[in-house]
Amino acid sequence: MRPASTTAVTIALLAGLLTGCTSVDRAPTASDQPSVTTATGPAGTATGTPQPTIVATAGPDKTSGAAARVMLRSSGGFTGRGDAVTVEPDGQWTAVDRAGSRRNGRLTPADLGRLTGLAADPRLAAEARQPTTSTVCSDAFQYRLTVDSIESGYVDCPEDGPPPPATQAVVKLLLRATAMHTR
């Protein structure tokens, strides 16, 4: 049996970690300018497995059809990756790896057009409403994608069944276009 002080510290630590996972960061903003949210890294679970977190703070421009700010976080795999890429509505992107190294670039017009179309796909919202299930894979990549206020994701584990198609299309586009890791 654990001493009461160890139990109290463990509960306080878990409560602190869970507080950072609230939906406050995902609330839409009323301003015309998107606010910037900096992710400090993947959150962890009680087992120590990093869970990706994503925050998008700007929605799509409904009048011009411009893409929303899109953020993809990937984690897991044998090497324990923890990468993030943020794509602004104009196609400029910034990728940050687990060590904090940054790379910048710009999507090609074709990739930006494809991303804009995928971001407007109504399947993303439907996929976000699907319940999440635990994975049977212990060493698979996990992807969390946020487009506007829609957050979805999947674990790249064939035994879990097919990933959500619209989410997977955006993930694959961003992995290819930004030269993030590929499987």
| DSSP track, the chain | ---HHHHHHHHHHHHHHHHTTSGGGGSPP-SSSPP-----S-EE-TTS-EE---------BTTTTBPPPEEEEEEETTTTEEEEEEE-TTSEEEEE-TT--EEEEE--HHHHHHHHHHHT-THHHHHHTSPP---S-SS-EEEEEEETTEEEEEE--GGG-PPPHHHHHHHHHHHHHTT----
Q: Is residue 58 part of a domain?
A: yes
Q: Is residue 157 part of a domain?
A: yes
Q: Is residue 171 part of a domain?
A: yes
Domain limits for position 54:
4-177
- Taking the complete model, does pTM exceed 0.75, yes or no? no
Give pLDDT, residue 149.
Answer: 87
Q: Is the pLDDT of residue 122 over 90?
A: yes
The number of domains in the chain is: 1
Give pLDDT, residue 145.
Answer: 94
Structure token pair of residue 80: 């324990």
Q: Spell out the residues 6+ positions from residue 118 whose beta carbon is closer than 8 angstroms to its own.
A: 124, 166, 169, 170, 173
Encode pLDDT of 48-82 as tens digits: 444 433 333 333 444 345 558 999 999 887 666 78
Q: Is the pLDDT of residue 86 over 80?
A: yes
Q: Is residue 183 part of a domain?
A: no
Q: Report residue 110's pLDDT band, with 50, 70 and 90 as the boundaries.
A: very high
Q: Is residue 173 part of a domain?
A: yes
Domain containing residue 80: CATH number: 3.30.1560
Out of 7-16, 32-41, 169-178, pick the least confident: 32-41
Q: Is residue 182 part of a domain?
A: no
Q: Is residue 17 part of a domain?
A: yes
Q: Is residue 53 part of a domain?
A: yes
